[in-house]
Amino acid sequence: MKKLFSILLTLCLIIGLTACSGGTSEEPAEPENEAAASEEQAEEIKEEGDNTDMSEKGTLVVYFSATGTTKGVAEKIAAVTGANTYEIKAAQKYTDADLDWHDSNSRTTHEQNDASARPEIGSEPVSLDGYSTIYIGYPIWWGEEPRIMDTFVEAYDFDGITMIPFCTSGGSGIGRSGKNLEENAGSGTWLEGERLGSNASEDELKSWIEGLK
């Protein structure tokens, strides 16, 4: 009986060990999974790499310009920074009559007197993917940003983006306009804005940009 028991025990041990070694034989599956995982990672890294490549277009110059002055400065900034540009166009274009600041009934007078006015944008929306710096330019109207700039900043998420306001004007400084935009945007890291002369040279723009760093 004792002998039979020991034979049975030996048999059990042999079966148990075989089962164990069977488990071990499945192990090679793991490296395959690892390989698959590392292929996935490589793909992810490649994708990240592609995003990094996009940093070449990591700077965007956004501007609104009713009569072309700000547009000219925006294009120079884009030239010295290698940036892309995006023009905010009003859905309803501003006519000369609209821009008449001597007229207390003109469209711009009404808009600038109403901090909640949000003129509609007519240009196609822009994707901010891949941009880490945005120069944002506009003319000064009645000492502030045109209300359409508020329409723009309220429509986008600037998280992770450095925002640099600039303006052109007949002489007024940038005033509170940069702060207004920052408050209305509610996202992004906003730097102190700057009034730029309509004839600002590329060297002047370069030294301003250098000073921002």
Ligand X SMILES: Cc1cc2nc3c(=O)[nH]c(=O)nc-3n(C[C@H](O)[C@H](O)[C@H](O)COP(=O)(O)O)c2cc1C
130 sits in the region (left: phi over 0; alpha: psi -120 to 50; else beta) called left
One residue of 22, 23, 31, 171 binding ligand X per CB under 6 A: 171
Provide the minimum distance between the beta carbon of 142 and ligand X in the complex, in angstroms, as a whole number. 5
Task: For the segment 18-77, give every residue that binds ligand X (CB under 6 A).
Answer: 65-71
Extract the tokens encoding 186.
């509610």
Q: Which stretch binds ligand X (CB under 6 A): 54-62, 122-130, 167-175, 180-188?
A: 167-175
3 state DSSP class of 132 = coil
User: Is residue 141 close enough to count as binding ligand X by CB under 6 A?
Assistant: yes
Out of 59, 108, 177, 180, which residue is the one contacting ligand X (CB under 6 A)?
108
Q: Which of 133, 151, 168, 177 binds ligand X (CB under 6 A)?
A: 168
Phi-psi region of 68 (alpha: psi -120 to 50; beta: other; left: phi over 0): left
In whole angstroms, how far apart are CA 107 and each of 83, 99, 122, 158?
32, 7, 17, 29
CB within 8 Å of 205: residues ≥ 6 apart? 73, 76, 77, 80, 196
Nearest distance in Å: CB 34, ligand X: 58
Sign of the Cα pseudo-torsion (122, 72, 192, 101, in order): negative
Residue 169 sits in the site that holds ligand X (CB under 6 A) = yes
Q: What is the largest CA-CA distance in the chain?
A: 118
Residue 133 binds to ligand X (criterion: CB under 6 A)? no
Closest CB 114 distance from ligand X, rounded Å: 13
Closest approach of ligand X to the CB of residue 156, in Å: 21
CB of 158 to ligand X, least distance (A): 22
Residues that bind ligand X (CB under 6 A): 65-71, 99, 101, 108, 139-143, 168-172, 198
